Copies of this chain bind each other. A is one copy, B any other.
């Protein structure tokens, strides 16, 4: 699904900082989860909030096992619907003020599903559907791990909400969904598999409770990148959601679900200064480019604002971005106070910074600069943003 243009320039022709996407690494990452899903007879509904880019999403779809997409904003829903994706789960708890935009998308033919986790919002959605004479498609958000939002599978409100939606002639209860966000805090394969099973089994239990009450609940939707890669069977699950796996990042490497050599995103920066008295090197990649995400802070290896590679993606010893201001990155050693290898950090030279969190770093840019195995620029893919 790639359409390489005539843009076959080298990295040194780019304006720094910019966001590089290693196409072969990304394709390998996409294939990895697609293969895992195929082996489990599973279906993916990829979360495109990480990429916000139709070309990346087309690559995911081309790899197979995909049925629909997941978005985090109605703006993403508009963008992907305009680019031909019509089966969309908006996976952030709906607020009533957003229902006019939901209704508008639905009327234009988008098969949009919304999520909620309270009786009050369920009643507001039913009232809105009746008022607007539009069908609102609803999934009930489950709390499978105490991470954030959702109702527990054994909470009485689960059935109350299901009944409110199912009893409305203007609403459709699509099913239940959850996101095991606590997987980001797992540190070994055993705890990750346990959490993935918990995410799956509590979701199936919730659907079974609803069905036992005589209410149809066709869809059971689960997922996060760590649990999707760890899960051992999907019997009873109809779809799996994940987004970061396409690129991976240092946080995912810290959880153990990828190696740093598999991370497909990096920020290209230029060296602007040496501060040898303080054993620092300064670059033009500050937090405006890297984001303020410090997701590796609590992990075994803290990479600061990112790990430092040379322009050909080879790690430069143990160097990290130890500090960042808006347009300055400060590079130092992570694990020692030895002098920096300044000969590998020449003034004006290029470096690549691996991101802590792919979603956050990518969001700082309006496009991916797509590079091939030889670090030639082969395309530029724009990203959407906003709400």
Residues of A within 8 A of B (CB): 12, 15-18, 49, 72-73, 92-98, 101, 117-118, 120-121, 124, 143, 146, 148-149, 181, 270-275, 278, 282, 284, 287-289, 291-294, 323, 325-328, 330, 347-348, 359-360, 363-366, 385-387
Contact = CB atoms under 8 A, between A and B. Distances in A.
Nearest to A360: B292
A123 to B, nearest CB: 10
17 contacts: A15-B97, A92-B327, A93-B272, A93-B328, A94-B272, A97-B348, A117-B273, A118-B273, A118-B347, A121-B272, A121-B347, A121-B348, A124-B348, A149-B272, A149-B273, A294-B294, A366-B386
Given A117-B273, A118-B274, A363-B288, A49 B294 contact: no
Contacts of A278: 146
Nearest to A115: B272
Given A96-B348, A98-B15, A292-B360, A148 B327 contact: no
Given A149-B272, A149-B273, A287-B360, A348 B387 contact: no
A148 B386 contact: no
A284 B95 contact: yes
A323 B271 CA distance: 34
B363 A270 contact: no
Contact of A326 (B49, B94, B273): B49
A181 B325 contact: yes
Given A97-B348, A149-B272, A284 B92 contact: yes
Contacts of A149: 272-273, 275, 282, 328
Contacts of A97: 12, 15-16, 270, 348
A384 B275 CA distance: 31
A327 B288 CA distance: 19
Nearest to A289: B387
Nearest to A291: B292
B16 A387 contact: yes
A38 to B, nearest CB: 28
A266 to B, nearest CB: 16
B274 A17 contact: no
Given A118-B274, A272-B95, A385-B366, A330 B287 contact: no
B148 A282 contact: yes
A364 B341 CA distance: 35
Contacts of A96: 348
A328 B148 contact: yes
A93 B49 CA distance: 34
A302 B356 CA distance: 23
